[in-house]
Structure 1
Amino acid sequence: MDKLIPDPPLEDLPTDRDAINRALDFYLDPKPAKPRQPSTMFLVHPGVDTESLLAHACESLASASAMASNFANELNGLQRSTALAIQQIVMLAELAVNRALDRVDPQT
């Protein structure tokens, strides 16, 4: 009985094996990725003390809370509820930062 599909030519087998080996190496033995370099466009100076960072974060969160509250006053319905929820999350983050700031520099 004759085969409907003939065997591949023998001269193509080594290149097929090379392609198979490259594919297996690519998927089963990947090269380690280069470590990601953070962007230096906006970089906090490494010498800034923790108290200053927390104070700045607290002020930024207070500003974001005020903006969300003012924005919520311009909205109605579900969008107002969403803006107020965002404002509440920001306020909770502000409370956490304030607590951390109190631990760094307790006020007497």
Structure 2
Amino acid sequence: MIKPTPNPPDNPDTSPYESLDTKRLHEAAERALDHHLAPPKQTPPKRKGQLFSVYPNVNTEALLANASEDLLSISAIAADLADDVDGSRRSIALAISRLADGVHLLVERALDHLDDPEIPGSLVKA
């Protein structure tokens, strides 16, 4: 019967390397372990009591556009909640929805004015 794999070597002390340098092997093992298991060397910047932060280089238009979308979502959630409750809770949910709608209009107006040099406070220099 023919075996699909060859027999192991007769001498178990044979190695593909001429000599085993245990110090070098230990250093290589330490580097490998440090690479995979050590915590990252760069520590994240400490936050000053903030849970969230905004990337500092985001342009104003992108910030306002995201705020506009978020306000629409808040308004929709509050209006949907108002359909499911009665009494003073319904009034509160409707008030939140209307406040979000009003602030959404303000943000949309700010977006409209970003590129208009005729409007005071515009980002475009006249």
Q: TM-score, normalised by structure 2?
A: 0.51
Which residue matches 2:110?
Answer: 100
Whether 1:62 aligns to 2:72 is yes
Residues paired across the two proteins, number: 70
Shift, 1:105, TM fit: 4.2
Change (3 A) 1:38 1:105: farther
The percent identity for this pair of structures is: 44
Judge conservation of contact 1:62–1:91 (CA < 8 Å) in 2.
Answer: yes
* Separation (CA, whole Å) in 1 of partners of 2:80 and 2:106: 22
Higher helix residue share: 1
Aligned-residue RMSD, C-alpha? 1.6
- Indicate which of 60, 73, 76 corresponds to 2:86: 76
* Separation (CA, whole Å) in 1 of partners of 2:78 and 2:49: 28
Which residue matches 1:48?
Answer: 58
Greater RCO, CA 8 A, separation 6+: 1
Larger of the two Rg values belongs to structure: 2
Q: Which runs of 5+ in 1 are unaligned?
A: 1-36
* Separation (CA, whole Å) in 1 of partners of 2:49 and 2:100: 25
Q: TM-score, normalised by structure 1?
A: 0.60
Q: Which runs of 5+ in 2 are unaligned?
A: 1-46, 117-126
